[in-house]
Structures are given as structure tokens and as C-alpha cells.
Amino acid sequence: MKKALILLPLLFSVACSNIGPTTTSSEATEPVSEAAAEVTTTSPESENIVKILVPEPMGDAFEKIKENYAILEPGVDIQVSTAIDSEMGGKAVSGGYDILITDNSPAIEKAKSNGILDSSTEEILCADPLALVKAKGSQSSVSGFELVENCSQIAVAPSGTALGDATRQAFDYIGKWGYVNSVSMPSISDSTAIVNTVSSTPGSVGILFGSSAKRNADKLDTIAIAGEYIFPEQVTLKIIKANNSSSVTEPFMQYIQTKECVKIYEQSGYAEYVTNDLVY
């Protein structure tokens, strides 16, 4: 009888000691389960983002496109970043975007060689035509590219720049480069200098890309846009998708190439591009 009484407390003690670890083990698994759930829920959110890098003059156009696309696909977050000419090269090769739009061909090639861009997705989005401009509200004896010899002060970008090279090619094509070069205004380093010089010099004219002319419409009037009869080899903006882009990138990339979006680009001074035939 005494042995039985001694055994009962011992059995009870062992039973209680077995209960503790079982409860602790159950509690320890709960935080692991919650962490796993968090990983599962955040991944789809990142897949609903499209990051796009565009030239600075296209910024306003893409804000409008972003608004329109939100109506069509409210669950997709379009994040637009812009870059000025001097920044585009560096940003293009740094990655961090799903879609790149630029006229900087060397930057595109370098980004492709670095494995950032998918070469098979490269397409022409639109053209950035040359524009002949004068000071806002001023009178000019020049009414078109062919009549530049009526002006003795012409602001052109230097050779070695996209704008400067395009300007020379255009005037070479119509046989006017010799005259333009002889009367080109000094100390012009870039498009900003052209805007400032022409807007403050009555009687002068300048050559800009259409997007720059549109962006500076408060200072300049556009006299004429160079169609294919002036400059067949227009400067074009390429659109290309990045490798490892989000799953919602492709539908958006197709959308921004539609006629609806091209009309928005035109409001920023760009032009529709059609293979072998430029439409302005």
C-alpha cells in the first residue's frame, strides 16, 4: 500500500513534465507560419508595378497615359521616371526599370550588352522631328527650312550632339548646310542655349527637336516642322523591355504603342512614325 502511494506522485510528476515541451513546440510554430504568410502576400504586390524610364520631355505625356491606364487596369501601379539628355546614358545602363524609352542608341546598346535589356523587344515608338523656331510673337522672313537663306542669324547645336548631327544631315539633304554653317551663331552648346539665344535675339531662328520646341512654347513660336522631304532619316525614340521585368509589363508596353497614346505624344511635340513613311 505504501509503495502504491509513493508511485502515484511520481507518475503525476512525469506526466506534468511531458506536457510542458508539447505546449512550447506548438507555440513556436505559429510565428514561422505568420512569416511564411507575409512572404506570400507581398510578392504579388511587386508584380503589379511597372517602372518606366522616359526622356524628360515625355514626362507630362506619361503622366496622362498613367491616368488613362489606371482606368483600364486599376490594379497596376505605373511608376514614371524621367531623365534629361545628360543623365539618360547613366540611368539606362543602371537598370531598375521594366521599360526604357530613349533616342540614346549607345546607351541602349550598352544596356543590352550588360544583360539589362531584352533585345528581342526593341521597337520604334515615335519620331522627334526637327523644328524651325523663332522668338515668341516676333516677325521673321523665314517661313520654312528651304528659306533659311533669308536669315543671317541661325542658332544650331554643335556637331557631335544628337541635335547638331541631325541638323547638319537635314540641311545637307536640301543643300543648305554650307549657308547655315556660315551664319550660325557662336557659343551655342546645347538646346537650352538655342532657346535662350533665339528668344532674346529678334530676327534670329533656331533648330530644335519638336519636343524641345513644344516644351518652350512660352518663349518660342514654331515656324515649320521638318517632314520627310526635308529629313528622311528622322531621329526616333526606341522602346525596349528589360530582362526580369514584372508580369504586367507586356500589356502596358503594348498599350503605349497604340494610336491613342501616339496622339498624346504628339501633344508633347513628337510625331507618329510609320515604316518608310513619316507622317506629320
Region 35-43: mean pLDDT is 36
Judge whether residue 58 has pLDDT over 60.
Answer: yes
| pLDDT score for 19 | 44
- The CA distance from 30 to 43, in Å, is 21
| pLDDT score for 46 | 63
Tell which wins on pLDDT, 34 or 206: 206
Q: Which parts of the chain fold into alpha helices (H)?
A: 2-47, 59-72, 85-94, 105-113, 162-173, 177-182, 191-199, 210-215, 249-255, 259-266
| pLDDT score for 274 | 64
Judge whether residue 39 has pLDDT over 60.
Answer: no
pLDDT in tens, 215-243: 999 999 999 999 877 777 788 999 999 99
pLDDT in tens, 114-127: 999 999 999 999 99
What single letter denotes the amino acid at residue 24? T
| pLDDT score for 276 | 52
Domains of the chain plus CATH, in order, are 46-127+235-266 (3.40.190.10), 130-225 (3.40.190.10)
Closest CA to 203 of 105, 137, 279: 137
Tell which wins on pLDDT, 18 or 85: 85
Please state, for a pLDDT cut of 90, what percent of the chain lies above it.
70
Please state, for a pLDDT cut of 70, what percent of the chain lies above it.
81
Residue 146, burial from CB neighbour count under 10 angstroms (0-12, 13-18, 19+): middle
| Distance, CA of 170 to chain centre | 26
